Structure formats: structure tokens, C-alpha cells
Structure 1
């Protein structure tokens, strides 16, 4: 994955009325958090919002594909992220609307426990 810093800057700007967006590097891409809640990733030249069984119907309604990746040996994996609709790239209200689904999915996600050393 490649990090598109311009895209991340746009997400930060568009989401400012809702909270603070922070980022962490992730396998050549970036994971985005709103006030500490994971809600999106940036990679493969696109923005992908977190999804789950509750939000899948909304993503399916706009034919937003799932994030998929090659695992090697001809296998393909997928993550619970959906490609952002085109209007989020130039419309702050659309960004906030679709990102809200990602934030809600992030809030519903189980908290991962840290491994003991």
C-alpha cells in the first residue's frame, strides 16, 4: 500500500468539525482514528472505511467493494473495510456521513488485548 498524504490531509480537514483525526503507519498505508477510534485506512490509492455486519447493508446499497489483498500462493484475503464512495473525495459532508459509519463500526469492534511478554 502507498500512503497518499494529500488524501489524509483532506480527511483531517473534512473531519475537523467532528473531532481529531490521527494516523498510524500500517504496511505501507495508514490507519486513521477519530478521537482514538479506528474508522478508516488509506492505501491502494484509496480511502477505505471500517465496516461490520451492522453497516454492510449501507455499503452494499452503494456497491462499495470490500478491501481485498493477495496473501500469496493464489489466496486472497479481505478485511472489514469498504471503499469510500467517490463523493467523499471532494465533499466534506459526504466524508462525514460515510466516515460516521466507519466510526460506529470501530466503536462496536471488540477491543484487542495486548499479548503478554
Structure 2
């Protein structure tokens, strides 16, 4: 995903900063990480408060295989599919990601 597309995706929040990381990109707003892009997939920051809403919308949690084959769950979830076609729906999800980032402090 190119930086212009990422900036548009998060436009409801205002300006974002995009940094290379983990072979992908970290997306920051107001100095807080709110999303990561890995292998052309955007994953939003989620916490215990917002996870039920993401799960109910069919999003999936990012996990990777750690030591001894155990799954390591990360605090990032996929974006529900309907958000890609509707800027208002996308705005809802990116705001939830920012709220999760604020609570993480």
C-alpha cells in the first residue's frame, strides 16, 4: 500500500506519520502507533475494550508463530471488509484504533 493511500485511509483522524518497520510500515497519529501494514495488509491497534467490536465485525487478530510453535497474539486486527468501500465506516474503525492507542499509555 502506498503512503498516499494510507494517508487517505486515516484522513478522518488528520495527519498521520508513516515509518518503515518490521518489513512493513507503522502508522502513527499524534505520536502514537495506531496501525501497522504488513504484506500489503493494514492492521489496526485494538485493545480489550475495542476487540469485541472488531471480532463481531469479522476482523481477525494478527498472530505469529513464536518459540516452540506457540501462537503469539498481537494487539492488531484486520479492518472489516465493508470499511474499504465506505469512508464513514473506515473513519469509525480508525478512530477506534486511535482510542486504543490512547488507552495504552
The structure having more radius of gyration, on CA atoms, is 1
After superposition, what is the alpha-carbon deviation per residue over 1:35-87, rounded to whole angstroms, capped at 9, x for unaligned? 32221111133111101011112112112111111225422211011110112
Alignment TM-score, normalising by the size of structure 1: 0.78
Unaligned regions of 5+ residues in structure 1, if any?
A: 111-117
For residue 104 of structure 1, the aligned residue among 94, 99, 102 is: 99
1:37 aligns with 2:32: yes
Match of 1:20 in 2: 15
Q: Is the 8 A contact 2:13 2:95 kept in 1?
A: no
1:24: how far off? 1.5
Structure 1 runs of 4+ aligned residues shifted over 3 Å read none
Aligned Cα RMSD in Å?
1.7
Q: Is the 8 A contact 1:30 1:43 kept in 2?
A: yes
Unaligned regions of 5+ residues in structure 2, if any?
A: none
1:51 aligns with 2:46: yes
